Amino acid sequence: DHEDEGDAQLATKTRPKTQRPPLYKVLLLNDDYTPMEFVVHVLERFFGITHQQAVDIMLTVHRKGLAVVGVFSHEIAETKVTQVMDYAQRNQHPLQCTMEKE
């Protein structure tokens, strides 16, 4: 019972837990119509990654159905999703982007 827990248990029970804000994955979804070059352009434009990283992520989405583009705070993730969705709609592509708590 509680008498034999020792110092280790006591330490873990009393150590204040550091609170970290939750992180959110931004996911890109595949579809049959959005051109590959447009997806690469979107990734470079809104996620500040290299051309090669953008190509790799686009191809992962194309082959597997979806991929994580990045992990961000709630506010940043929401901004990325809105930017991608608005830009895709403005260019009349059905590209879908969403976010999910890590």
Residues lying near ligand TYC in the complex (CB under 6 A) are found at 28-32, 34-36, 39, 58, 61-62, 95
Which residue matches tokens 């006591």? 10
In the complex, least distance from residue 67 CB atom to ligand TYC, rounded to whole angstroms: 8
In the complex, least distance from residue 68 CB atom to ligand TYC, rounded to whole angstroms: 12
Task: Report the C-alpha gap between 21 and 83 in whole angstroms.
Answer: 22
In the complex, least distance from residue 49 CB atom to ligand TYC, rounded to whole angstroms: 14
Task: Report the C-alpha gap between 101 and 91 in whole angstroms.
Answer: 28
Which residue matches tokens 């029970």? 13
Distances (CA, A) of 25 to 5, 68, 78: 38, 6, 10
* Chain residue whose CB lies nearest ligand TYC: 61
Name which of 12 and 51 has its Cβ closer to ligand TYC: 51
Name which of 58 and 72 has its Cβ closer to ligand TYC: 58
